[in-house]
Amino acid sequence: MKIKILSLALTALLLAACDNNKTPETARDAETTSPAAATDMSANDTAATALDWPGEYKGVLPCSDCQGIETELELKMDKTYELSEEFLGRANGQESKITGTFEFDPNDPAVIILDQAANNRKFFVGENFIEARDVNNGDNIDASQNYRLQKDLQ
């Protein structure tokens, strides 16, 4: 009788141990590869903390009186930036370079605001891109136009 009870107790112990065979590392890996983890940020995460935002972003932004504005915006970890713009199709090929600081918008932490040197321009920060936003309210400018700069991943 004692052997049966001991066997049952050992079997129950083994079954309980099998249920918890994930190490903390494999449990963490499973969480980060799940579809929900891949698309949802935790309530405490912001673009500043959850995304790899520092780097160079490049693209051609729309222009009302030229062929486009070739734009490069470098965001640095110390929250400084370098903005270079070239107005394409203009006879004198206007170019500008601006340096300054930026901050994450306290009302919308997925948006950065460049300082006065760049006219307080706003950009939405996404995964490997930034997108110009309306300076007044941070909304999309024009859905029919491409206001996105892609991160240079080299």
Q: Where are the domains of the chain?
A: 2-39, 47-151
Q: What is the CATH number of domain 47-151?
A: 2.40.128.640
Of 61, 79, 63, which is closest to residue 115 (Cα–Cα)?
79
Question: Is residue 129 within 8 Å of residue 57, measured between CB atoms?
Answer: yes
CA distance 140 to 70: 19
Tokens matching residue 75: 């965001």
Q: For the CA atoms of 130, 151, 67, 63, what is the dihedral angle to 10 degrees?
A: 10
User: What pLDDT band is residue 17 in, cutting at 50, 70 and 90?
Assistant: very low
Residue 43 pLDDT > 80: no
Residue 34 pLDDT > 70: no
Question: Is residue 109 within 8 Å of residue 122, measured between CB atoms?
Answer: no
User: What pLDDT band is residue 92 in, cutting at 50, 70 and 90?
Assistant: confident
pLDDT for the residue numbered 49? 65
Choice between 102 and 92, residue whose per-residue pLDDT is larger:
102
Residue 1 pLDDT > 80: no
Statement: the pTM of the whole predicted model exceeds 0.75: no
- Residue in the structure block whose two tokens are 């935002």: 53
